[in-house]
Structure 1
Amino acid sequence: MSAEPSLPHHRLLPAPLAELARGEGGPGTVDLLLAAERSRRLLLLRMLDDATDLGPAWDLLSAAQRSAPAVVDELLLYPQTGMWLATALRRLHGTIPPDEPPLSHVLGHIGALAAAAALRAELDFTIDVPVRHGRATLPTLGCALLPVTAPWTTATVRATAGEAVVETPRHTVALPRPLDAAGPGWHPLRRLAVGPPERRLELALDDVDPYRTYPQPTEARPLPEEAAAQWRQVLEEAWAVLLREQPGTAEAMRRGVLSLSPTPARERFRPRSVTSGDAFGGIQVSEPDDAVQFAVTLVHEFQHTKLGGLLHLTPLLARTTGPAAPLWYAPWRDDPRPIEGLLQGIYAFMGITGFWREHRETAADRRAAKVAHFEFALWREHVARALEQVHRHPRLTPLGATLLRTLRDRCALWLAEPVPDEPLSLARRCADDHMARWRAHHLRPAAPAVDEAVRAWRAGASGPPASLAAEPEMVPDPSARWLDSLALLVRHRLSGTDDDRRSPEDPEKAAARVTGALAGDAMLAAGDAGAARHAYVTHLAVEPSRAGTWAGLGRALALTGGHPAAAGILCHHPERARAVHEAVSRTTGSAPDPIRLATWLGSSPAPA
Structure 2
Amino acid sequence: MSGSGLVLPRHRVPAESLIALAEGDGDDHVLDLLVSAERSRRLLLLRLLDEMTSHGVPEVSDGPVPLTPAWELLARAQHAAPDAVDKVLMYPQTGMWLSSALRRLRGTDRETTPLWVVLGHLSAVAAAAGIRAGLDFTITVPMRHGYALVPTLGAAELTAPGPWTSAQVEAAAGQAWITTPNRRVQVAPDSDRGRPGWRPLRWITAGNGDSELALALDDLDPYRIYPRPSAPQRLPDDRVARWQELFEHSWALLLRDEPQTATAMRRGLISFSPIEAGERLRPRSASTGDAFGGVLVSEPDDAVQLAATMVHEFQHTKLSGLLHLTSLYTADASQNEERLYAPWRDDPRPLGGLLQGIYAFTGVTRFWRTHRHSDVGRTPELGHFEFALWRSQLWSAFESVCDHWRLTPLGRRFLDTLRNRCAAWLDDPVPDVPGRLGRMCAAHHRARWRAHHLRPAREWTDATALRWIDAADGPAESAETGTRLAPDRSAMHLDSLATLVRHRLQGTSGHGAGQNTDPTRAVLQVRGALEGDALLAAGQPNAARRSYLAHLSADPDDAAAWAGLGGALTAEGVEPEAAGLLTRYPERARAVQRALVASSGRPGDPVRLAAWLGRALPAS
Please tell me the TM-score bracket, short chain as reference: over 0.9
- Which residue in 2 is equivalent to 1:32? 33
> Displacement, 1:130?
1.2
Shift in CA distance, 43/548, structure 1 to aligned 2, threshold 3 Å: same
Contact 1:449 / 1:465 at 8 angstroms: preserved in 2?
no
Q: How many residues in Structure 1 have an aligned counterpart in Structure 2?
A: 602
CA offsets, 1:532-579, max 9 Å, x none? 011001111122222111010111112223222221211111101111
Contact 1:23 / 1:407 at 8 angstroms: preserved in 2?
no
- Which residue in 1 is equivalent to 2:340? 328
Are 2:13 and 1:15 equivalent residues in the alignment?
no
1:439 aligns with one of 441, 450, 454 = 450
- With normalisation by structure 1, the TM-score equals 0.96
- Which residue in 2 is equivalent to 1:547? 559
- Which residue in 2 is equivalent to 1:393? 404
> Displacement, 1:467?
6.7
User: Aligned with 1:193: secondary structure?
Assistant: strand
User: Aligned with 2:493: secondary structure?
Assistant: coil
Q: State, as a whole percentage, how many aligned pairs show the same letter.
A: 55
Shift in CA distance, 180/332, structure 1 to aligned 2, threshold 3 Å: farther
- Which residue in 2 is equivalent to 1:594? 606
Inter-partner Cα distance in structure 2 for 1:119 and 1:5: 21
Contact 1:141 / 1:179 at 8 angstroms: preserved in 2?
no
Inter-partner Cα distance in structure 1 for 2:322 and 2:365: 21
Amino acid at match of 2:352: E
- Which residue in 1 is equivalent to 2:111? 99
> Displacement, 1:65?
1.3
Inter-partner Cα distance in structure 2 for 1:180 and 1:120: 16
> Displacement, 1:438?
0.4
Are 2:214 and 1:213 equivalent residues in the alignment?
no
1:199 aligns with one of 187, 211, 215 = 211
User: Aligned with 1:288: secondary structure?
Assistant: coil
Are 2:82 and 1:81 equivalent residues in the alignment?
no
Inter-partner Cα distance in structure 1 for 2:79 and 2:515: 70
CA offsets, 1:497-526, max 9 Å, x none? 2334666x7111112111111110011011
User: Aligned with 1:136: secondary structure?
Assistant: strand
> Displacement, 1:124?
1.9
CA offsets, 1:119-169, max 9 Å, x none? 122222221111111111110000111122411221121223344322222
> Displacement, 1:173?
2.1
1:240 aligns with one of 245, 252, 262 = 252
- Which residue in 2 is equivalent to 1:41? 42
Contact 2:188 / 2:200 at 8 angstroms: preserved in 1?
no
Between 272-281 and 461-470, the greater mean CA deviation after superposition: 461-470
Inter-partner Cα distance in structure 1 for 2:606 and 2:43: 62
Inter-partner Cα distance in structure 2 for 1:177 and 1:480: 47
Inter-partner Cα distance in structure 2 for 1:178 and 1:143: 11
User: Aligned with 1:129: secondary structure?
Assistant: strand
Amino acid at match of 2:295: I
Inter-partner Cα distance in structure 1 for 2:544 and 2:607: 13
Are 2:484 and 1:483 equivalent residues in the alignment?
no
**RMSD (CA atoms):** 1.7
Inter-partner Cα distance in structure 2 for 1:380 and 1:123: 53
Shift in CA distance, 590/573, structure 1 to aligned 2, threshold 3 Å: same
Contact 1:303 / 1:347 at 8 angstroms: preserved in 2?
yes
2:295 aligns with one of 273, 283, 298 = 283
1:135 aligns with one of 124, 127, 147 = 147
Shift in CA distance, 502/191, structure 1 to aligned 2, threshold 3 Å: closer
Inter-partner Cα distance in structure 2 for 1:502 and 1:126: 66
- With normalisation by structure 2, the TM-score equals 0.94
Shift in CA distance, 213/198, structure 1 to aligned 2, threshold 3 Å: same
> Displacement, 1:583?
1.4
The correspondence of residues 305-344 of structure 1 with structure 2, limited to 5 A, is 305-344=317-356
Q: Please, which runs of 5 or more residues in structure 2 have no aligned partner?
A: 55-66
> Displacement, 1:250?
0.3
- Which residue in 2 is equivalent to 1:69? 82
Are 2:427 and 1:416 equivalent residues in the alignment?
yes
User: Aligned with 1:278: secondary structure?
Assistant: helix
- Which residue in 2 is equivalent to 1:580? 592
- Which residue in 1 is equivalent to 2:417? 406
Between 522-531 and 192-201, the greater mean CA deviation after superposition: 192-201
Amino acid at match of 1:589: G
The correspondence of residues 130-529 of structure 1 with structure 2, limited to 5 A, is 130-176=142-188, 181-365=193-377, 367-466=378-477, 469-498=480-509, 499-500=512-513, 506-529=518-541
Shift in CA distance, 119/181, structure 1 to aligned 2, threshold 3 Å: farther
Amino acid at match of 1:459: D
Contact 2:220 / 2:232 at 8 angstroms: preserved in 1?
yes
> Displacement, 1:178?
7.3
Amino acid at match of 1:491: R
> Displacement, 1:175?
2.7
> Displacement, 1:301?
0.6
Inter-partner Cα distance in structure 1 for 2:334 and 2:25: 34
Contact 1:243 / 1:250 at 8 angstroms: preserved in 2?
yes
Inter-partner Cα distance in structure 2 for 1:556 and 1:469: 28
Contact 1:129 / 1:156 at 8 angstroms: preserved in 2?
yes
